[in-house]
Amino acid sequence: MQDAAAHQVTLAFSDGIEHALVVAPGSNVLEAGLAAGLPLLHQCRSGSCSTCLATLVEGEASTLPGCSSSLLASERAAGQRLLCVTGAQGDCRFALPYDSKVGENRAVEGHAFINAAEQVAVDVMRLELELAEDCWFDFRPGQFIQIKVPGTDQTRSYSIASTPAELPKIELLIRLLPGGVMSEWLLGHAAVDTVIQISGPYGAFFLQDSGKAPLVMIAGGTGLAPMMAMIDVIRSKSGRKPPIHLSFGCQSAEGLFHLEDVDLRRLWLPALTVTTSIDRGPAPDGVRIGNPVEAVGADGPLDPATVAYLCGPPGMIEAARGHLQALGVAPGNIHAEQFVAS
Q: 115 in a domain, yes or no?
A: yes
Closest CA to 139 of 261, 244, 233: 233
Same domain, 157 and 249: no
Same domain, 97 and 149: no
C-alpha 324/C-alpha 276 separation (Å) is 18
Query: E-strand spans in 36-91?
Result: 53-58, 61-63, 80-82, 86-88
Same domain, 60 and 155: no
Mark the ranges of the chain whose per-residue pLDDT is less than 50: 1-2
Q: 34 near 40, Cβ under 8 Å?
A: yes
Which of 71, 102, 133 is at the close of a domain?
102
Same domain, 91 and 155: no
Total number of domains constituting the chain: 3
CB under 8 Å, gap of 24 or more: what pairs does 256-263 form? Answer: 256/121, 256/284, 256/287, 257/120, 257/121, 257/124, 257/126, 257/173, 257/224, 258/120, 258/173, 258/224, 258/228, 261/228, 262/224, 262/228
Same domain, 334 and 226: yes
Determine the pLDDT at residue 1.
Answer: 40
Determine the pLDDT at residue 69.
Answer: 85
Determine the pLDDT at residue 2.
Answer: 45
Q: Which residues pair with 334 in a beta bridge?
A: 308
Closest CA to 151 of 184, 118, 174, 128: 184
C-alpha 332/C-alpha 78 separation (Å) is 8
Q: 209 in a domain, yes or no?
A: no
Q: 94 near 12, Cβ under 8 Å?
A: yes
Beta strands 61-63 and 108-121 are unpaired
Same domain, 54 and 85: yes
**Nearest-10 crossing angle of helices 259-268, 224-236:** 20
Q: 210 in a domain, yes or no?
A: no
The pTM (predicted TM-score) of the whole model is 0.88
Distances (CA, A) of 33 to 21, 40, 42, 45, 160: 7, 7, 11, 13, 27
Determine the pLDDT at residue 338.
Answer: 86
Same domain, 112 and 92: no
Q: What CATH number should be reported for the domain holding residue 241?
A: 3.40.50.80
Same domain, 196 and 148: yes
Which domain does 131 fall in, by range? 106-202
Determine the pLDDT at residue 341.
Answer: 62
Which of 102, 135, 159 is at the close of a domain?
102
Q: How many angstroms separate the first and last alpha carbons of the chain?
A: 38
Determine the pLDDT at residue 223.
Answer: 97
